[in-house]
Structure 1
């Protein structure tokens, strides 16, 4: 078996980036659920720990304004949200390379099918990321 074709490389690159984006979406949903759970906890029980955990999870200026803590909130949630714009750009760049490889059209039917599926997945991913 020879080395992978440029189309196969471009296809796997797009699929890897789409999978990475999906993973970050799942992480974002988990973090939001954790924050909601922390906010709904009984504040009288372990108040200091809940406050600390919220500081680590959420970035909310209004919430920070009412907090006695002198440092900003939102380490985890905002870091995850910040991943999406550059990742979207990387997906768009990889998609453009894949479409260029598709236009060359010198590959097998199986590779072309995989590449077209990857293009569809990447375009769907870009649309979903725009909503975040």
Structure 2
């Protein structure tokens, strides 16, 4: 089995970052739902502490997005550069790899819009 091409490595990296971004959005939604539930229910003496901790977790999750956006943008630029290089002579990428790369680019652009 031949080693993966630079195009497939760049594509995999970008796909992983996009999945990570989606995971953080899902986590943020769950945390916000938990806060809403705590704010409505709150009867025990521990509720205030738990609510503070949940709010802190939400802020930490939100703080990840700018860094993640930058990583996605960097990876996207690298993949686009790799796509441009593979258009030249000596192209070693298969049409399937190019299609996957273009799909990853589209997913990354969507993720960047969601973060903004």
TM-score range, shorter chain: over 0.9
Q: Deviations over 1:34-78 (max 9, x none)?
A: 00000001x4x31x21101111011xxxxxxxxxxxxxxx2x110
**Which stretch of the first structure deviates more once superposed, 15-24 or 103-112?**
103-112
TM-score, normalised to structure 1, is 0.82
Within 2, Cα distance between the matches of 1:115 and 1:81? 28
- Structure 2: how far apart are the matches of 1:115 and 1:86? 22
- Equivalent residue number for residue 23 of structure 1: 23
CA distance in 2, matches of 1:89, 1:97: 12
Whole-Å separation in 1 of the counterparts to 2:52 and 2:113: 31
Q: Give RMSD over aligned pairs.
A: 0.7
Alignment match, 1:49 = 46
Segments of 5+ residues of structure 1 without an aligned counterpart are 59-73
Structure 1 residue runs of 4 or more that deviate by more than 4 Å after TM superposition: none
Equivalent residue, structure 1, for 2:95? 109
Q: Number of residues paired by the alignment?
A: 111
Superposition pairs of residues 78-97 of structure 1, within 5 angstroms: 78-97=59-78
Q: Who is 2:112 aligned against?
A: 126
TM-score normalised per structure 2: 0.93
**Larger-gyration structure (1/2):** 1
More contact order relative to length (CA 8 Å, sep ≥ 6): 2
